[in-house]
Every structure is written in structure tokens, then in C-alpha cells.
Amino acid sequence: MRAPYRVALLGLGNVGGALARRLVEDADRITTAAGRPIALEGIAVAHPEGRRAPAPLLPAAKLLARPHLDAIVEVMGGLEPAHTYISMALRAGRQVITANKQLIAADGPELARLGPLRFEASVASAIPIVETLAETLGADRIGSIMGILNGTTNSMLAAMGEGASYADALADAQRRGLAEADPSADVDAHDPAAKLAILAMLAFKRRIDPSQIERVGIRNVEPAQVEAARRGGCVIKLIAAATGDDGTIAADVRPRLVPAEAPMARVHGAMNAVALDAEYAGSLLFEGPGAGPDAAASAVLADLIRAANDAPASAGSLLATLADGSPAIVVPLGPEKPYRAAS
Ligand code: HSE
């Protein structure tokens, strides 16, 4: 058996807590999968006072300065201080695993140039789409991506379809640990736009600036509209979509009217889905839990096991190749395709 793989955890919120629990409760199975034990050396949290944790709580700077660390797992979210800590760790030769979609969408290519960066959990949580795009489909040509990439809004739209008010639907998503700390990231579609930017970079191998992706959130979707869509044989879904034909990138995120019989219409609650059209592999559809502590922790753990096994960080390596390129011009897909806009 190889020596333990020593890991520092930055953040002990919903996802960090689920990961820490899993590392303790599932230690034997994780050791078998990783070929060695994974040892949690310490955890950094903003306010350690009175908190209980399965490893010593330390200030981030102190934890990162510890010798012999193999990897850090960043599940704090937000651009700073996550960016600073990740750069420090990569420059120090450590592997980095992050669930931070905002940071990867904005700065992933530069960060990935510094060292092995893994971010499976940043898009669609438990759906293994990031390494699949970079590695399994790396040599294919992806023409289009379409998906439901935000569990909070998908769950809210479903609840509103069953009569809940917008406010109650949002409160329920927050209670279940689905929503971002600032839920405007969900309802105003910054979160799915960041995820779409990551998928589009991996699929089309072009640098994408997430702020160039047109976004319409669900803030103005009224329960009456959800009901009217239902009477018309449709459901309203927040669809993130992109095409990369002929070197032109078209992408947007907006509520669309999806016919009730379409696979995307049947993606319920906090589930996500990603449909890809690949020239050689054909049409692929991935569906699974897209938000929630255990689903996100499952993807973080997958990356951690890959790191402990010395598997390549394929998605990070791909992003690193885009660091010198200027961002692609991104035009909106517009209100007609892939489905008619809901408003
Ligand atoms: N707030 C996000 C969502 C969490 O609802 O999809 C998972 O990225």
C-alpha cells in the first residue's frame, strides 16, 4: 500500500461537510479506490470558533504552508481568496481540486497553467461531464451542447408548476443546500452561464469569457406562465445551450418552452442534464443530480481519487492550452432555438 495522500480542505460548508463526512465514513472503500488512504490533514474555515470537524481547524495560510501536503480541495466558492489559495498551492507543486465554477470559468486557463487543476464538481455536480469532455471525447468534434445546469432554478420551476410561490420555491431550494450563498447567482443565471462557459471551453477548445454569454434568469417567470406553458403541452426550463459550428460560438442561458415529451422536460427537481452532439460518438445525453452536498462531494471525491492515483488532470491540461488565446466572440443563440424562449 502506498503512503497516505495528504489533503487540506479549504471550506467546510455544505459540500466541504459532505466530503469530510464521506472521507471518514467511507474510508475503506476510498482507500481501495485510491490505492492508498486519503488523510485529511486540516480544514480551513473563516470562523472556526466552536465548530467541530474531523480534522484540525487551521487558518488557511497556516494550513497551506504545511510541508508534505499532496493536494488541496477548495470548496469555499467565490473568486477571492480562492484564487490566491489555489495559485499558491499550484505554485508549491500541489494538486488542486475545486468545485468553484465561477473561478474556473473566469480564470481556469491561467490557473491550469500553474499545475494540475481538477474541477469535475464545478459543472452539474455528480454528472461526470468535465473529464468526459476533456478525455473520453477529447478527440471528437462537438457541435452543440444543451443542458439544464442549475439545480436550484430547475427545482424552483418544478415547485412553481405545482403551485408554490417564487419565494417559497427559493426558500425550499435554500433549505436543501442547493442554492448559492447569494441565490441571485442561481435565479439570474450567472451560475449556469459559468458552467456553460466551462463546458464550451472543453467542447470547442476556445477561450470563453462567461460574461459574454447572454443570460436571462427566472426572476420574472410567473407561476401563471408556468401554468400556461403546461396547458400548451410544454414545461419552462432554464436552458443553457451553445453551438460551435464553423468557429462561431453561439451561446445563451434563458427560460425556454420545452415540449413535455422531450427528454429535457423530464429532468426534475435538482437534477441536471447535458445533451451533446458529437461528430463521431453521436448524440449523448447525461442526466443526474446537479446540486446538493452529497452530489457535489461525490464529484470532488472522484477528482481526489484520480489525483491520488496519479491520473492525468485532462480537463485542466486542456484549459491550460487556451490560456494564451483571446476570448472567442460569443453571439446569443436567440429566442427560437434550441426551444422557443419562454418570455
Ligand atoms: N447552486 C448550484 C445549483 C449548486 O443549484 O445548481 C451546484 O452547482
Q: How far apart are CA 153 and CA 210, in angstroms?
A: 19
Q: How many residues does the chain have?
A: 343
Q: What angle do CA 159, 180, 54 make, to 5 degrees?
A: 115
With a 6 Å cutoff on the Cβ, whether 180 touches ligand 1 is yes
Q: Is the CB of 203 under 6 A from ligand 1?
A: no
Mutation to probe ligand 1, out of 102, 180, 195 (largest number of atoms < 8 A from CB): 180
Tens of pLDDT, residues 118-155: 999 999 999 999 999 999 999 999 999 999 999 999 99
d(CA 127, ligand 1 centre) in Å = 12
Structure-block grid coordinates of residue 90: 499550484
Which spans in the chain are helix H? 14-25, 27-34, 60-64, 82-91, 101-112, 130-131, 151-161, 166-175, 184-187, 190-204, 223-231, 293-308, 314-320
Which residue type occupies 339? Y
* Residue owning the nearest CA to atom 4 of ligand 1: 291
Sequence-distant contacts of 63-69: CB under 8 A, at least 24 apart? 63/8, 63/10, 64/8, 64/88, 64/89, 64/92, 66/8, 66/41, 66/42, 68/6, 69/6, 69/7, 69/8, 69/41, 69/94
What is the pLDDT at residue 303?
Answer: 98
Q: pTM here?
A: 0.98
> Which residue's C-alpha cell is 459540500?
15
* 17 close to ligand 1 (CB < 6 Angstrom): no
The grid cell for 244 is 460551435
C-alpha to C-alpha distance for 45 and 57, rounded to whole angstroms: 7
Check if 240 has its Cβ closer than 6 Å to any atom of ligand 1.
Answer: no
Count the Cβ atoms, other than its own, within 10 Å of residue 279: 9
One DSSP character per residue, 61-98 reads: HHHHT-TT--EEEE-S-SSTTHHHHHHHHHHTT-EEEE
8 closest CA partner among 97, 103, 92: 97
Q: Atom 7 in ligand 1: which residue has the minimum CA distance?
A: 291
**pLDDT confidence of residue 48:** 87
What's residue 76's pLDDT? 96
Show the domains of the chain with their CATH numbers.
5-131+293-320 (3.40.50.720), 139-289 (3.30.360.10)
The reported pLDDT for the residue numbered 247 is: 76
The pLDDT of residue 47: 87
* Nearest in space to 301 (alpha carbons), one of 94, 55, 92, 29: 29
Amino acid, single-letter form, for residue 244: G
How much is the pLDDT for 65? 94
Q: Find cell 434563458 and name the residue.
A: 254
All residue ranges of the chain with pLDDT < 50 are: none
Q: What is the pLDDT of residue 187?
A: 98
Predicted confidence at residue 1, as pLDDT, reads: 86
